[in-house]
Amino acid sequence: MQVDQSLNCIGLSCPMPIIKLNKAIKSMESGEVLEMIGSDPGSKSDVPAWCNKTGNIFLEQTEDNGAFKFYIKKQ
């Protein structure tokens, strides 16, 4: 998967990862993919819910050594 922008949210707690995600996605072009890396377990439900609410496309979620990676395509 080609990632156009990466956002590091490790160490941030709710609601900061979603606030930063929202700001980052606004600066991107339609069709671009954002990789968000976070450590807040709440993000596992927050990110897909945010995508659903905003119309952006939740592509994938992975987990590696306590870090969660989310891939979102801007609508």
Annotated catalytic residue within 14, 16, 49, 67: 14
**Spans of the chain, pLDDT less than 50:** none
Comparing CA positions, the residue from 31, 29, 27 lying closest to residue 2 is 31
Write down how long the chain is.
75
Which class is domain 5-73? Answer: alpha beta
pLDDT tens by residue, 10-30:
999 999 999 999 999 999 999
Active site residue 9: no
CA–CA separation, 9 vs 6, rounded Å?
A: 10
Q: Is 54 helix (H, G, I), strand (E, B) or coil?
A: helix
Q: Domain limits of the chain? A: 5-73
pTM of the model: 0.94
